[in-house]
Amino acid sequence: MQKNATGSASGGLNSENPQKPAAEKAKQSTVSKSQTPMQIAMEEARAAGARGEVPIGAVITRKNQIIARAGNRTREINDPTAHAEVLAIRMACEVLQNERLGECDLYVTLEPCAMCAAAISFARIRRLYYASSDPKGGGVEYGPRFYSQPTCHHAPDVYSGIGEAEATALLRDFFKEKRK
- Residue positions forming the annotated binding site: 83, 113, 116
Gap between the Cα atoms of 153 and 149, Å rounded: 9
Between strands 157-160 and 127-132, the pairing is parallel
Active-site residue, from 53, 85, 94, 111: 85
Instruction: Decide if 177 is catalytic.
Output: no
Gap between the Cα atoms of 51 and 53, Å rounded: 6
* φ, ψ for residue 162, nearest 5 deg: -80, 110
Gap between the Cα atoms of 158 and 147, Å rounded: 10
Between strands 127-132 and 104-110, the pairing is parallel
Q: Which residues are catalytic?
A: 85
